[in-house]
Chains A and B, each alone.
Chain A
Amino acid sequence: MNAAVERGGTMISIEFTLNGDTVSVEFDPRDRLLDTLRYTLGLTGTKEGCGEGECGACTVLIDGLPVDSCLVPTYQVRGRRVDTIESVDGGTLGAFLEGGATQCGACTPGVVMTARWILANPDLRRTHRLRELMAGNLCRCTGYDGIIDSIEEGLKESQS
């Protein structure tokens, strides 16, 4: 990768892999990944909650790991793989719907992205409890049991 020096109000251009496709975007260097996803690329499934890395509503996966997109400057995803809620097939959310894991829905995209990471990496449970893995996704409606139970259910389904 070549060094680039950006000055003043100059826009930056980068490429990255978004939900499996290569995309190029031009953005203000101040933009967070959350801003680029929502306002430049029009993917509004990712929500802004607290803007301080606490609530997890803006969770996306970068190179397979959950991160708060409100804390990631867009220039840091050049060459990376980003997956957002838009990559999730709604048909795979049965356990969530049946388990009452979603109510107002504001936290749900972030919750689903972290859950997807857990489902893709079942070995995580050797060292972590589900509640610890999900601790970065706050929900003010469901009381968490529905969310945790639904992920348990999803894990059972994926292993059977």
Chain B
Amino acid sequence: MKKPDTLQGSLDLLVLKILSRRPGLHGYAIMTAIKDASGEVLSAEEGSLYPALHRMEEAGWIGAEWVTKENGRRARTYRLTTAGKSRLSAEETRWHAVSSAINRVLLEA
């Protein structure tokens, strides 16, 4: 398996983090949650959100479930699996390591 690059990794990290806080979100809700939580700085494109969701589902980090919403439409909701939780902590550690390294570089320069 290819090593996920940082950008993709950060999308994964965001999605996993959001889902760990609020399980049972569907795709659109995840997108808005990312936007809101980042103070509208970060936005997940639909074009990369859904492939990322489906990839992580196949990897077994998140599980999906169809629920019927009040408007009668079915929505596919996602939640974290046990594998996803350990993945999240690994991603977090990695993010901290990378960001502190980048910070160090910026400070020294």
Partners in one complex: no
Instruction: Report A's interface with B, CB cutoff 8 A.
Output: none
